Copies of this chain bind each other. A is one copy, B any other.
Amino acid sequence: MDKLAELDPIFHPKTVAVVGASADENKFGSRFLRALIDFGFKGKLFPVNRRGDQVLGLKIYPSVRDIPGPVDLADIMVPAAFVPGVLEDCLARGVKGAQIFTSGFAETGEDEGRALERQLQVIAKRGIRLIGPNCFGVYCPSGGHTLLPGGDFPRESGPVAFITQSGGYAVEFARLARGHGIRFSKVISYGNACDLNEADFLEYVAQDDETRIVAMYLEGPRDGRRFMRLVAEVARSKPVIVWKAGLTEAGARAVRSHTASLAGDEAIWQALFKQTAAIRVGSLEELADTTTAFLNLPPTTGRRVAVIGGGGGVSVAAADACDQVGLEVPPFPYHIQQKLRGILPPAGTSIRNPVDIGAPIVPPEVFRKALESAASADCVDTIIATQALHYVLAGTLGPHPAARRKFLDALIEIPAQIRDRFGKPVVIVLPIGGDEPEMLDAEKGRREIRDIYLDMSIPTYPTLERAARAVANVAHYYENAARLP
């Protein structure tokens, strides 16, 4: 069936009933309504509450049945016991989709909650598609719909879909994404998945032209076989990045009381990631880091990296970090080492790969030549270079304050130029450098530079470990995707 057409009323509704919004502007329902208004929802909004009245300048209807004209989507936040009744109203009114934010269903582990959730499932089969319960619902900029708190989420769409069983992570990832330059086609928090589940959403975003990269947070899939079959298929054409949580004993117990699902078996998941091109990550941070990498790195991103930085201990750790995630740090051939020998002083440096440029900060012309030499090596696919700009920003190293801006500008223009000249991706590590309160100004400058780099499609990471892992995830994906029969 065409998932796009089926779910379109949910993702691009023209009319939305907000069931549970009341005259009290501090209650969840009204705050949700305000988030939709703040976000700039373009269609019609109908607050619904048995007690009537009005809120935020809108008339409150006693029931969905009383709303004039067609309703595409119902956002439902009444207490669990009332949800089946509201859904009956929706069915009667021909509403095509509903999001049920309310919790207190199967995830409680109590008979009552489980029975209520079964009721929802039965109702869904009669002609309405459900998201939730126990979820945060959908943020879809192109449809003008957001979740709570999300009134201030970016209004522009992007190529990333995030499908998550946890509502908290929907919000956290959307926030985290800003600093990573990530924009979304859809964020979908689907909670207990009594009707629509991870497989449905994966099928949907696979067909969705807006979506180029799929990120997922999963606890226990409802429809494991179908999901795994779909992952294998979708990951051939779009990167699918999956954080599967709850695979430890304590984690599995937490999964049961969070989304009433079964976490499953580590061996099955290992097999999935081995046999498909899907990418496995282990944290929200790695999910964001890897997404940024996919957004900014080309399919030619390979596992053979040149690592450039200042301070020998850093190089050793860099080499370890690369090796541990499956990146190769090939020793440079003799002629490349000679080039580097001509640029760097003999003492306190290393020219083999990793390249130790001898100091955390070197003049732009030295940095440029080091990158040129590394990029010119045939054995190198990808360059990871550390710029310890926090020393310059904090005034500890580098030129006098008057010359600082020029010095920084000269350093920052180099990576994109090297990338374009040699056709090899360059990833920059921008260390944070210290978390004392007095380092906040330097940190402000660092975030600004990170954003300048993102504008040039140069991904940056605060540590070499995170950079290496993100590069490895991208390189492995394109390698695996090409290898599949």
Interface set of A (CB-CB < 8 Å, partner B): 80, 102-104, 107-108, 134, 149, 164-169, 172, 175-176, 178-179, 217, 219, 245-251, 253-255, 257-259, 283-285, 310-320, 322-324, 328-329, 331, 346-348, 350, 352, 354, 356, 360, 396-397, 433-437, 440, 443-444, 447-448, 451, 463, 465
Q: Is the CB of A258 within 8 A of B435?
A: no
Q: Is the CB of B166 within 8 A of A346?
A: no
Q: Is the CB of A254 within 8 A of B179?
A: no
Q: Is the CB of A251 within 8 A of B323?
A: yes
* Option from B134, B175, B248, B318 in Cβ contact (under 8 Å) with A433: B175
Q: Is the CB of A331 within 8 A of B253?
A: yes
Q: List B contacts of A104 (CB < 8 A).
A: 346-348
CA distance A250 to B329 in the complex (A): 6
* Option from B348, B397, B436 in Cβ contact (under 8 Å) with A103: B348
CA distance A328 to B448 in the complex (A): 41
Q: Is the CB of B396 within 8 A of A149?
A: yes
Q: Is the CB of A436 within 8 A of B440?
A: no
* Option from B108, B217, B310, B436 in Cβ contact (under 8 Å) with A447: B436
* Option from B164, B175, B435 in Cβ contact (under 8 Å) with A434: B175
* Option from B331, B397, B440 in Cβ contact (under 8 Å) with A444: B440
Q: Is the CB of A254 within 8 A of B440?
A: no
CA distance A246 to B444 in the complex (A): 33
Q: Is the CB of B440 within 8 A of A356?
A: no
Q: List B contacts of A316 (CB < 8 A).
A: 166, 219, 245-246, 251, 254-255, 258
Q: List B contacts of A219 (CB < 8 A).
A: 313, 316
CA distance A169 to B315 in the complex (A): 11
> Quick one: which of A259, A312, A316, A448 has the most chain B CB within 10 A?
A316
Q: Is the CB of B80 within 8 A of A318?
A: no
CA distance A396 to B151 in the complex (A): 11
> How often does this chain occur in the complex, in copies?
2
- Complex A-B: 15 CB contacts under 8 Å: A80-B347, A102-B347, A103-B347, A104-B347, A104-B348, A164-B313, A168-B314, A217-B313, A246-B316, A250-B319, A250-B329, A251-B316, A254-B316, A254-B350, A285-B463
A319 to chain B, nearest CB (A): 4
Q: Is the CB of B245 within 8 A of A313?
A: yes
A34 to chain B, nearest CB (A): 14
Q: Is the CB of A312 within 8 A of B168?
A: yes
Given A254-B316, A312-B166 in contact, is the A437-B448 Cβ separation under 8 Å?
yes
Q: Is the CB of A324 within 8 A of B258?
A: no
Q: Is the CB of A435 within 8 A of B179?
A: yes
Q: List B contacts of A346 (CB < 8 A).
A: 104, 108
Q: Is the CB of B443 within 8 A of A354?
A: no
Q: List B contacts of A249 (CB < 8 A).
A: 323
Q: Is the CB of A319 within 8 A of B254?
A: yes
Beyond A167-B312, A250-B328, 7 extra complex contacts between A and B, CB < 8 Å: A165-B313, A166-B311, A168-B310, A168-B314, A176-B434, A217-B313, A285-B463
Q: List B contacts of A168 (CB < 8 A).
A: 310-314, 360
Q: Is the CB of A251 within 8 A of B179?
A: no
CA distance A178 to B439 in the complex (A): 11
Q: List B contacts of A448 (CB < 8 A).
A: 437
CA distance A165 to B134 in the complex (A): 53
Given A108-B346, A347-B102 in contact, is the A317-B283 Cβ separation under 8 Å?
yes
> Quick one: which of A164, A285, A324 has the most chain B CB within 10 A?
A324
Residue of B nearest to A328 (CB): B250
Q: List B contacts of A319 (CB < 8 A).
A: 246, 248, 250-251, 253-254
